[in-house]
Amino acid sequence: MAGKPAVLCLSGLDPSGGAGIQADIETLFANGCHCLPVITSLTVQDTCNVSRTQTVGVDVLRAQISTVFADIQVHAIKIGLIDNIDVLRLIAEVMTDHPAIPVVADPVVKAGGGFEFSGAELIAAYRSLILPRVTVLTPNTDELLALSPDCDHPERAASALMDLGCRHILLTGTHASTPDVVNTLYHPDAPAESWTWPRLPGSFHGSGCTLAAALAAGLAQTIPLSQAAANAQAFTWQALQHGWRAGQGQFLPDRRGRNR
């Protein structure tokens, strides 16, 4: 029986179903991969904002991750919400133990409604322990600048983070004041690549999770990075274009992909 690539997802649980681990599962399924879901944090949130989080115990997370690795070949790792320094250190250990596995990291710094997940200590640890081991970071402009506080321009901020060891950065232009959304893939030793997408009305819950998971799916299938980035953007834009409103806040992406 033919299998499909498996992606280890280290993400939070969003009970509204728009972001976090459910976004990962839906996206990976639609893109031909199997999700290995490890929940890093239980959140209290809806489609408007987050009100609190509860970190999952590190011992449980370590046992889950080691058990999965002992049983299943992991083709890629996708990192989402990290709201605890001990969990962050554990994830860094996992990345160090498996350096050949591509890692896509979505740096969840702040919720769409304004709730902040990461303080100064977590951001500093993310820079020193996570970024040097990341294959592709997928921030929006606000997240990029939060991770590079000494820089006030996206291009300089991206360069600074790559100097820390992050291999590539796919910067999304959703938070920029531009008529269209311009996403830019930065490389340490090659010119940046850009894609332009029509800006859709409204705001969306889980768009960053969707993009990162779709990109992880491409890398898990050994698709070259530039093509995987293009495919992930196309999938995400289609999911947002068909987004729907489940509650009173942001729209939820429709991630059915070709099954739509």
Contact 113, 143 (CB under 8 A): no
Q: Which residue has the tokens 């976004």?
A: 23
Q: Mean pLDDT across the chain, nearest whole number?
A: 93
pLDDT tens readout for residues 192-241: 999 999 999 989 999 999 999 999 999 999 999 999 999 999 999 999 99
Q: Where are the alpha helices (DSSP H) in 53-111?
A: 58-71, 85-97
What's the pLDDT score for residue 206?
Answer: 94
Domain boundaries in the chain? Answer: 6-255
Note the residue count of the chain. 260
Q: What is the pLDDT of residue 231?
A: 98
Is a pLDDT exceeding 60 seen at residue 114?
no
| Spatial strand order in the sheet of 103-105 | 50-55, 34-45, 6-13, 76-79, 103-105, 136-137, 168-171, 180-186, 193-198
3-state secondary structure 137-186: ECCEHHHHHHHCCCCCCHHHHHHHHHHCCCCEEEEECCCCCCCEEEEEEE
| 6-255 belongs to CATH 2.60.260.20 | no
- pLDDT tens string 12-27: 999 999 999 999 999 9
CB atoms within 10 A of CB 239: 26
SS3 30: helix
Average pLDDT for 51-60: 94
Residue 259 has pLDDT above 70, yes or no: no
| CA dihedral for 127, 130, 135, 138, sign (positive or negative) | negative
